[in-house]
Amino acid sequence: MNIPCTTASPIPASKSDLVETLLTTEDMLAILKISRRTLDSYLADQVIPPPFKIGRRLYWHREQIERWLRQQARL
């Protein structure tokens, strides 16, 4: 059974490409220049796009965060 791909970006060619498209909590703190406490507050208040979990770690799609940042700059 073929399931159509509905993602906006192509599937990365290698594992390292996939890792480069994901942002960790530490990446988010550095990009947004905020503390962990502020990030937790943003998540609780749904200020930023929601992450997804792999194991216990949170990840964000880089493209989604970049798009969100561009939208914030237009406000």
| Model confidence pLDDT, tens digit, residues 6-18 | 455 555 566 566 6
43 falls within a domain: yes
What is the reported pLDDT for 8?
52
pLDDT in tens, 21-59: 999 999 999 999 999 999 999 999 999 999 999 999 999
The pair of three-digit structure tokens given for residue 3, joined into one six-digit string: 């399931």
Distance CA 59, CA 45 (A): 18
Domain count, the chain: 1
Helices and strands in the chain, H and E counts: 4, 3
- pTM > 0.85: no
What's residue 14's pLDDT? 62
The DSSP code for 58 is: E
Kindly state whether residue 1 falls inside one of the protein's structural domains.
no
Flag whether 34 is in a domain: yes
Residue 57 lies in a domain: yes
Its domain, for residue 48, covers 16-74
Measure Cα distances from 46 to 15, 16, 32 in Å.
30, 29, 15
With CA atoms as reference, report the closest residue to 60 among 31, 33, 25, 30: 25
* pLDDT computed for residue 5 by the predictor: 47
The verdict on residue 9 lying in a domain is no
Per the domain annotation, does 56 fall within a domain?
A: yes
